[in-house]
Amino acid sequence: MTLFWTRTWDALAGALFPTGCVSCGELVAAHDPPLCQKCWGRLPLIAGPRCGCGSPLPGSDGEDCGRCRRGRSAVLEGASLGTYAGPLRDCVVALKYRGRHRTAARLSVRLLESEPCRRILKASDVLVGVPLHPDREGRRGFNQAHLLASEIARGCGLPVSRGLARTRNTRSQTDLSRRDRRRNVRDAFAAGSDSALKGAAVTLVDDVTTTGATLRECAATLLDYGALEVRSITVARAE
């Protein structure tokens, strides 16, 4: 099913047929899917000190993570709405695997209300959704990261570029170790189809980050292409 028809059906179904919250099952307001008001209110927000790149810190505020101290992170700054658990995980699953495309719009509203995300967007020139390989995007019919980037762009007025491509159809990162995640995405991306990325402050957008390997590889590719700096925004961070 094409993106147009899946979006059309999702909007029509939401308007005509009451649906249950994907987290608790209660009826959802047609304008605010896929969670009920109660579950939107109990999103698992990020707790504890964070490095500027978004990684959790074992120590106190004001420190950098080991990777940033060693100068090995290509991501200048990162922010996530919350941890990949509970209602937030249910939202991501609904968007990514159940075709609930309106979820991207509602998540973008929450991201735009987040102070760390607003700070990143204020310093940005262009948004880039982390790309899927064309084969995988073709089978799925959409790229959830690009949907999120497009919805965020509606709210903040930034342009969205598709000048970053995934050139290798990598394995899913889900069941890989930290080391294997790095190897899996190494040299898997290329930039070059959008000169607007040169000299620009780019913000990568994705649904979930765990070790940050994909974001760092994308950022390194963009910097090699000529981007001035790269930040990141994700819906969730898996701990």
pLDDT in tens, 26-57: 988 777 789 999 999 999 988 777 777 777 77
Q: What's the CA gap between 87 and 39, in Å, rounded?
A: 6
Asked if the model's pLDDT at residue 138 lies above 70, the reply is: yes
Q: What's the CA gap between 222 and 164, in Å, rounded?
A: 8
233 contacts 215 by C-beta, under 8 angstroms? no
Q: Are β-strands 77-83 and 229-237 bridged in parallel, bridged antiparallel, or unpaired?
A: parallel
Whole-angstrom distance between the N-terminal and C-terminal Cα of the chain? 34
Average the pLDDT over 124-143 and give the result: 94
Residue 171: other Cβ atoms inside 10 A: 12
Q: Are β-strands 201-209 and 126-129 bridged in parallel, bridged antiparallel, or unpaired?
A: parallel
pLDDT for 169: 80
Q: What's the CA gap between 160 and 143, in Å, rounded?
A: 13
Q: What percent of the chain has pLDDT over 70?
A: 84
155 contacts 112 by C-beta, under 8 angstroms? yes
| pLDDT tens per residue across span 153-180 | 999 999 999 999 999 887 666 666 677 7
Nearest Cα residue to 233 out of 135, 138, 158, 141? 158
Q: Choose the weakest-confidence range: 72-76, 105-109, 124-128.
A: 72-76
Secondary structure of 85-100 in HEC code, one letter for each residue: CHHHHHHHHHHHHCCC
205 contacts 128 by C-beta, under 8 angstroms? yes
The type of residue at 133 is: H
141 contacts 2 by C-beta, under 8 angstroms? yes
* Reported pTM: 0.86
Domain that holds residue 46: 3-237
Asked if the model's pLDDT at residue 15 lies above 70, the reply is: no
Give the total number of structural domains in the chain.
1
Q: What is the largest CA-CA distance in the chain?
A: 54
Average the pLDDT over 102-124 and give the result: 94
